[in-house]
Amino acid sequence: MITALVTGGTGFVGSHVARALVRHGYRVRILRRATSRLDAIADLDCEHATGDVMDPASLAAAMEGVDWVFHVAAVADYWRSDPARIYTINVDGTRNVLLAAEAAGVRRVIFTSSAAAMGYRADMRPVDESVRFNYDQHVTPYGHSKFLAEAEVYRAIRRGLDCVILNPTVIIGPGDLNQISSSVIVEAARGNVPPTVPPGGLTLIDVRDVAEAHVAAAERGRTGERYLLGAVDLTHKAWLRLTAHTVGRRMMALTLPAWLVRRVAVVADVLRRSGVPLPIEGNQLRLSTNMMFFDCRKSWRELGPPQIPIQQSLRDTYAWYRAHGDL
């Protein structure tokens, strides 16, 4: 039987990947820190390896007898984190995982990157896997860190390691303990529906579809390929309207012009530097003025199309937060 190691296996995406692997009949081992919360995998039949992506010795021990490695661990809450930490964990940590996998003779590595590692198109057409990162790195340290981490993956491939890269878009779904993307649902349920929205848009996908794509990538993904994972494109206004409807709130939001959002971003930067706690930061606001839509047809063809409608994902996420006492 194939044994799979999942780094970040106690987190939002990692725990769902671990569950999908168990469901498909694979033996699963998760790498976790000694202080990690176990809520997301408390009932899961899996092995535990205590360690950290910054600790090569613990990685070597965790990969003993492992066939596949799913490197999911990363700093994803970039607006709450220091850029230096983002680069350390996302880039150096990825390099450590790849070197350990090579040394252990792992057969395949699935790297969880992000759509943020892609670039943008001046013609506003949806971005596909061929568009390279071309943002100002200071605007999106997270996206830049994932771009650099992918460079580490390609170096490992050239050394002979079999790797596949997955680039999820915005992920929602039950189990988002740290409220990374699903914080919009929590805030709306609490009555915090903003009166204004930025003019851009985004591509979304349910975390359970992301997890299934990880399994499919291990089983039949092509070495060295990137696969964008997404289900539906929504403007910010449509996304907020769907969310408000799901949680039983009214939405009367006005779409702001991009120039005004950028000015608000400058004010947000000043306030955050002054120590004022804000739920959003300037670069998030700047990026929110873009139509960040992605062409995910390659992954649909080769790994399988998403199965969970975004409305169901919203309902399930809302129900999960209610059941866990967050609302």
Does some domain include residue 145?
Answer: yes
Q: What is the pTM of this model?
A: 0.94
Does some domain include residue 308?
Answer: no
Does some domain include residue 119?
Answer: yes
Spatial contact of 170 and 204, defined as CB atoms under 8 Å apart:
yes
Distance CA 183, CA 213 (A): 24
Does some domain include residue 136?
Answer: yes
Respond yes or no: is residue 298 known to be catalytic: no
Distance CA 307, CA 112 (A): 20
Q: Which of 71, 146, 208, 237 is catalytic?
A: 146
Does some domain include residue 266?
Answer: no
- Residues near 305 by beta carbon (within 8 Å), at least 6 away in sequence: none
Does some domain include residue 34?
Answer: yes
Q: What percentage of the chain carries pLDDT values higher than 90?
A: 71
pLDDT in tens, 86-137: 999 999 999 999 999 999 999 999 999 999 999 888 887 899 999 999 888 8
- Domain of 101 in residue numbering reads as 3-173+205-230+295-303
Count up the domains in the chain and report the number. Answer: 1
The residue among 64, 32, 61 whose CA lies nearest residue 46 is: 32
Distance CA 185, CA 240 (A): 9
Does some domain include residue 260?
Answer: no
Residue 107, judged by CB atoms within 10 A of its CB (0-12, 13-18, 19+), counts as middle
Looking up residue 79, the CATH number of its domain turns out to be 3.40.50.720
Spatial contact of 283 and 194, defined as CB atoms under 8 Å apart:
no
pLDDT in tens, 236-282: 999 999 999 999 998 888 998 889 889 988 888 787 788 777 767 77
Backbone dihedral angles phi then psi of residue 139, each to the nearest 5 degrees: -75, -35
3-state SS, one letter per residue, for 52-116? CCCCHHHHHHHCCCCCEEEECCCCCCHHHCCHHHHHHHHHHHHHHHHHHHHHHCCCEEEEECCHH
Does some domain include residue 279?
Answer: no
Q: Which amino acid is at 45?
A: D
pLDDT in tens, 147-189: 999 999 999 999 999 999 999 999 999 999 888 888 889 999 9
